[in-house]
Chain A
Amino acid sequence: MKIPTSVKNILEIDLEKKTYHIRSRSDLNDILGGVGLSLKLYSEFKEEKPVIFSVGPLNGFFPFASKTSVMFGVKNKVYDYYIGGSLSSRIKFCNIDSIVLLGRSKSEVFIEIHNQEVTFLDYGVEFESHGLPGKRSLIEFKTNKYLLDNYFRFSGSEADSILHYKKVLGIVISGSFNFTIPDQKEYDELYKQILQKYQRLTVEKGEFPSCSGCPMGCSKSNIGEKNGSLLAHSLVGCNFASKLFNNHDLIISCLNILGYEYTHEDIEKYLQTLYNLKKDYIFQ
C-alpha cells in the first residue's frame, strides 16, 4: 500500500467501554508526528487521563528512527517518555500514527492490536502466544514493571504506575502492512547513506539487544529516554542520533522520498507551534 501522507491514523481505545475507533484525521497534517502528535492528542483528551503512544513519519522506514513517544499526565505534570525495541515499527506497520488509551478498565485486561483492529482479552489468557510471530511487539507487566519484549523498559516508573492503574496488564501489537515507496532506488540510496553515518551517534556500539532499525546494540537501548530534541522526537528518532535528526536538509530529503511535502518553513513553523503548546504544561 501507499504511505498515507495526507492523514494521521489515530487509534482511540476506550478501556472502560472496551470499544475502539480508528480515525483518519487530515486536520493533524501540520504535525510531523511523535511528541507533537502525542502532545496535541493529550490536550484533546486530557480529561480522560490518556496514555498516548505515537510514532513519526520515519519510523520503520529509516535507520535510527527507532523510538516511540509515550505521553501521559499525572496530577499537573505531563510525562514525555520514549521507549525503544521493535514497538515503533510495529505501530507503523499497523498503519497507525498514535494509539490513545482512554479511561480505566473495570477489570484487568490484555489488549491485542492487529493492524487497525483491537481485541480485549481477559486476564489469565496465555498472552505470550498472541500476536503474529516476527511481526509483533509485546508489552507485559512483569512482577513490578512493564517490559517490552522482555527487555526494553519505559524511562520512568510513572509509566508503569499509570498502565497498572488503568488495569492494562499487557499490549501485543502486530503490524502486517507492507508499504511501497514512490522512488525505490532513491530511497534505497538514502537509507544506506544514513546507515553509514552511525559514527555520528553519541552512544557506543555494544552487544545488547538492539532497537529495530538500529545496528548499535547499545547498553542504553533498554532504558528509554525522557524529553530531548523536539525534532528528533517528532520523527521519532533516537536521541543518541539527534545530530542526524536535527539536520533539516537530511530530514526534508527523507520526508520527500516517502511522499511527504513538508518544507523547511513547515518544519520551522511546526517546531514553533509545538514549543508554544508545550508552554501550557509542566513537563517531567
Chain B
Amino acid sequence: MAKKILKATFENRCNGCELCVLEVQRQLGRVGLTDAPIRILRDSSKNTVYFHVDIDPSVNNLNLKEVIKVCPTSVFEIMEEEDEDTYIG
C-alpha cells in the first residue's frame, strides 16, 4: 500500500517563516522547536540567506494537509511512496 510522505519539493521558495515547524509542533501538542519533525536551517554563509528544510520521517504520521496549507510559499508536496513489500513475491 502506498504511503503518503511529505517532501520539500520547492525548498528554494522557503522564506523561513517557520509556520510549518509551529504547525507540526502544535499537532504534537507543544509550542517550541525541540524535537520538531521539520526544522528550518538557515544558511547565511553566502551574501544572501538560504533556507534548508530538514524533514524527519516521523512527520508522515501527522496531518500533512495542514502542513501544506500553512506554508505561504507552497514549498511542500505530498508524494506517494510504495512500501517495499509491494515488490516482494
Interface size class of A (residues with CB under 8 A): 35 or more
Instruction: Say if the beta carbon of B19 comes within 8 Å of chain A.
Output: yes
- Size of chain B's interface in residues, with CB distance under 8 A? 30
Q: When the two chains form their complex, are residues B15 and A195 in contact, meaning their CB atoms are under 8 A apart?
A: no
Q: When the two chains form their complex, are residues A179 and B31 in contact, meaning their CB atoms are under 8 A apart?
A: yes
Measured between C-beta atoms, what is the minimum distance from B36 to chain A in Å?
7
Q: DSSP class of A's interface residues: helix, strand, loop or mixed?
A: loop
Which of B21, B30, B41 interacts with A179 by CB under 8 Å?
B30
Which residues of chain A come closer than 8 Å to B51, judged between CB atoms?
209
Which residues of chain A come closer than 8 Å to B30, judged between CB atoms?
178-180
- What is the chain A residue whose CB lies nearest that of B19? A215
Given the complex of chains A and B, what is the CA–CA distance between A195 and B17 in angstroms?
A: 12
- What is the chain A residue whose CB lies nearest that of B45? A128
Q: When the two chains form their complex, are residues B33 and A213 in contact, meaning their CB atoms are under 8 A apart?
A: no
Q: When the two chains form their complex, are residues A178 and B32 in contact, meaning their CB atoms are under 8 A apart?
A: yes
Q: When the two chains form their complex, are residues B34 and A178 in contact, meaning their CB atoms are under 8 A apart?
A: yes
Which of A133, A205, A209 interacts with B16 by CB under 8 Å?
A209
Instruction: Say if the beta carbon of A135 comes within 8 Å of chain B.
Output: yes
Instruction: Say if the beta carbon of B44 comes within 8 Å of chain A.
Output: yes
Q: Which of B17-51 contact A (CB under 8 A)?
A: 17-19, 21-22, 25-26, 29-36, 39-42, 44-45, 48-49, 51
